[in-house]
Chain A
Amino acid sequence: DGGITQSPKYLFRKEGQNVTLSCEQNLNHDAMYWYRQDPGQGLRLIYYSQIVNDFQKGDIAEGYSVSREKKESFPLTVTSAQKNPTAFYLCASIPSDRRAYGYTFGSGTRLTVV
Chain B
Amino acid sequence: AQSVTQLDSHVSVSEGTPVLLRCNYSSSYSPSLFWYVQHPNKGLQLLLKYTSAATLVKGINGFEAEFKKSETSFHLTKPSAHMSDAAEYFCVVSEANQAGTALIFGKGTTLSVSS
Question: Chain B contacts of A108 at CB under 8 A?
Answer: 41-43
Which of A35, A45, A50, A107 is the one whose CB lies under 8 Å from B42?
A: A107
List the one stretch of B16-24, B65-73, B77-85, B105-113 in contact with chain A. B105-113
Question: Chain B contacts of A56 at CB under 8 A?
Answer: 100
Q: Does B90 contact A (CB under 8 A)?
A: yes
User: What is the CB-to-nearest-CB distance from A43 to chain B, in angstroms, rounded to a whole number?
Assistant: 4
Which of B42, B102, B106 is the one whose CB lies under 8 Å from A48?
A: B102
Which of B45, B100, B102, B107 is the one whose CB lies under 8 Å from A45?
A: B102
Question: Chain B contacts of A58 at CB under 8 A?
Answer: 102
User: What is the CB-to-nearest-CB distance from A66 to chain B, in angstroms, rounded to a whole number?
Assistant: 13
User: What is the CB-to-nearest-CB distance from A108 to chain B, in angstroms, rounded to a whole number?
Assistant: 5
A35–B106 Cα gap in the complex (Å)?
Answer: 13
Q: Does A63 contact B (CB under 8 A)?
A: no
Q: Does B51 contact A (CB under 8 A)?
A: yes
User: What is the CB-to-nearest-CB distance from B26 to chain A, in angstroms, rounded to a whole number?
Assistant: 16
Interface size class of B (residues with CB under 8 A): 20 to 34
Which of B43, B92, B94 is the one whose CB lies under 8 Å from A90?
A: B43
Chain A residues numbered 76-114 whose CB sits less than 8 Å from any CB in chain B: 88, 90, 92, 98-108, 110
A101–B32 Cα gap in the complex (Å)?
Answer: 10
A108–B100 Cα gap in the complex (Å)?
Answer: 23
Q: Does B103 contact A (CB under 8 A)?
A: yes
B41→A98 contact, CB < 8 A: no
A103–B92 Cα gap in the complex (Å)?
Answer: 10
A103–B35 Cα gap in the complex (Å)?
Answer: 11
Which of A33, A99, A110 is the one whose CB lies under 8 Å from B51?
A: A99
- Give the 10 A-B residue pairs with the shortest CB-CB distance, closest first: A105-B43, A42-B107, A105-B44, A107-B43, A43-B105, A99-B32, A102-B34, A42-B105, A99-B51, A102-B46
